[in-house]
A and B are shown apart, each in its own frame.
Chain A
Amino acid sequence: MGVADDLFKALADPTRRTILDELTQKSGQTLFEICSRLSMKHRLGISRQAVSQHLAVLEAAGLVETRREGRYKFHDLNTAPLRQIAERWLATEASDPSAVSAPSDTSGPSDPCDPEESTP
């Protein structure tokens, strides 16, 4: 699966977007803190294992990076992959409105009407 696919798949899930929201508020959170925020602030009934799996998807997309510090593991937000989205549809128009080049999709041909496409 291509980089863009990983990114959009990661963003397609509301729980994963909430995790990103919380990491935007404060970077460098342990798994425990992320779980606490989801259950206490957002009232999401979600297991620690499920949160771990969501974090793995976000990490595969490059949106979350893990950092070991001593005996603990922290999760940091990385917004760099989001720039791909901005550059793909917004930057071209901003830099030169006449030169709209079609960006290449890494996933190859797929059915644009396929409703299964964005669901994990």
Chain B
Amino acid sequence: MRIQLTSVFVDDQAKALHFYTEVLGFVKKHDVPVGEKDRWLTVVSPEEPGGTELLLEPMGHPAARTYRDALTEDGIPLAQFAVDDVNAEYERLRGLGVRFTQEPLEMGPVTTAVFDDTCGNLIQIATQPQ
């Protein structure tokens, strides 16, 4: 068994694609129309083109919004990405206008930070010892 795909619910797929590619730096992998306006839209890391895909899933179910908003209020991230240097990534993203709800925080061997993906989700980035 392998983890090939994981997903986040997004308010707006076009806006999400822009943020996850232009700002975060992922690349589009699949973009297939589904139904009238939805897309099967996935991105991957350029460092691992064959790696786990992230599905930018339309916010279709009303319960998804309730769940997401409650977690966001408490600052709880819905996904976590690995970076080589949280502090460098924090500076880079902040320079691009990204809003952080948690600045880089060193906790033992792990450093994390949490930002808003502009599509309704909080995302954690983390640097862990190799």
Contacts and interface: CB of A to CB of B under 8 A. Distances in A.
A and B assemble together: yes
Interface of A: 26, 29-33, 36-37, 40-41, 48, 71-74
Please tell me the size bucket of the interface on B: 10 to 19
Given A40-B110, A71-B69, A32 B105 contact: no
B74 A32 contact: yes
Contacts of B107: 36-37, 40-41
B102 interface: yes
9 contacts: A29-B75, A30-B102, A32-B74, A36-B112, A37-B105, A71-B73, A71-B116, A72-B101, A73-B73
B114 interface: yes
A41 B106 CA distance: 9
A26 B103 CA distance: 10
Contacts of B101: 30, 32-33, 72, 74
A71 B72 contact: yes
Contact of A31 (B75, B103, B105, B110): B75
B58 interface: no
Contact of B74 (A37, A40, A73): A73
Nearest to A42: B107
Nearest to B103: A26
Which of A26, A37, A72, A73 gathers most chain B CB within 10 Å? Answer: A72
A30 B74 contact: yes
A33 B75 contact: yes
A72 B75 contact: yes
B108 A41 contact: yes
B128 to A, nearest CB: 12
A35 B119 CA distance: 25
B93 interface: no
A32 B108 contact: no
A43 to B, nearest CB: 9
A71 B101 CA distance: 10
Nearest to A26: B103
B60 to A, nearest CB: 20
A87 B9 CA distance: 53
Nearest to A39: B107
